[in-house]
């Protein structure tokens, strides 16, 4: 954190902890000032102000470039996800569990912490839904809700159902 602060100071910027402003705030304030001076130049008694005065509030290109959205991120397609799940090893019980967790991630779109703390009782394979119970799972802000499975390839659901059946057959889950 101190290193980041030093980098800001070297660039002539102040960190927000020292009263520095974000680029977005600076841009908005500059545009408001420019608008005010555009209006002011039209008022009686201020017409001799230069018409180019509002242009002085235009930020340098370098400053404006910081607010540009980051380049779009490449995400795997559903076909890529299906290929990944089908290529995962399934020899050991641990490998089959891992495969079921990844498939469940695509079915329920739960956060990683919630997925890893999920119990089989939270999965209703017949109704094709999952319950995020904030009391028993690591849920953000302890939120509880029910989510229906997303319409992804049936192989994802088959993987989760097969895992639940395997664990039930071993007597590890009622």
pLDDT band for position 67 (cuts 50, 70, 90):
low
Q: Is residue 162 part of a domain?
A: yes
Listed residue (161, 153, 148) closest to 100, CA to CA: 161
Please tell me whether residues 105 and 133 are part of one structural domain: yes
Domain of 141 in residue numbering reads as 78-169
Q: How many helices (H) and strands (E) does the chain have?
A: 7, 3
Domain boundary among 35, 65, 95: 65
pLDDT band for position 173 (cuts 50, 70, 90):
confident
Look at 127 and 15; give whichever has higher pLDDT.
127
Please tell me whether residues 60 and 83 are part of one structural domain: no
List, for residues 78-120, the tens digit of each pLDDT value: 999 999 999 999 999 999 999 999 999 999 999 999 998 998 8
Cβ-based neighbours of 41, under 8 Å, separated by 6 or more = 47, 49, 50, 51, 53, 54
Please tell me whether residues 92 and 156 are part of one structural domain: yes
Model's pTM, two decimal places?
0.59
Reading the block at residue 48, the tokens are: 């001799």
Listed residue (101, 78, 88) closest to 151, CA to CA: 78
Please tell me whether residues 14 and 91 are part of one structural domain: no
- Report, as an integer, the average pLDDT of 32-53: 86
DSSP 77: -
Please tell me whether residues 61 and 109 are part of one structural domain: no
Give the chain's domain count.
Answer: 2
What is the structure's pLDDT at 107?
A: 93
Please tell me whether residues 101 and 140 are part of one structural domain: yes
What is the structure's pLDDT at 75?
A: 86
Please tell me whether residues 161 and 83 are part of one structural domain: yes
Cβ-based neighbours of 157, under 8 Å, separated by 6 or more = 103, 107, 125, 128, 149
pLDDT band for position 5 (cuts 50, 70, 90):
low
pLDDT band for position 27 (cuts 50, 70, 90):
confident
pLDDT band for position 62 (cuts 50, 70, 90):
confident
- Distance of alpha carbon 145 from alpha carbon 92, whole angstroms: 32
Please tell me whether residues 108 and 165 are part of one structural domain: yes
**pLDDT at position 169 over 60:** yes
Which residues make beta-bridge pairs with 132? 145
């Amino acid at each position: 954190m101190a290193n980041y602060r030093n980098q800001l100071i070297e660039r002539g910027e102040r960190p927000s902890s020292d009263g520095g402003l974000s680029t977005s705030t600076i841009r908005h304030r500059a545009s408001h000032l420019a608008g005010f001076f555009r209006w002011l130049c039209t008022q009686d008694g201020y017409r001799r102000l230069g018409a180019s005065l509002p242009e002085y509030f235009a930020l340098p290109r370098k400053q404006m470039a910081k607010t540009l959205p980051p380049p779009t991120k490449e995400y795997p397609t559903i076909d890529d996800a299906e290929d990944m799940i089908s290529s995962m090893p399934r020899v050991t019980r641990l490998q089959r569990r891992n495969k079921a967790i990844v498939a469940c991630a695509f079915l329920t779109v739960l956060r990683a912490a919630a997925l890893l703390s999920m119990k089989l009782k939270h999965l209703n394979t017949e109704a094709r839904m999952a319950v995020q119970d904030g009391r028993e799972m690591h849920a953000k802000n302890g939120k509880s809700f029910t989510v229906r499975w997303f319409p992804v390839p049936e192989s994802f659901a088959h993987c989760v159902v097969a895992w639940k059946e395997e664990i039930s057959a071993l007597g590890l889950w009622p």
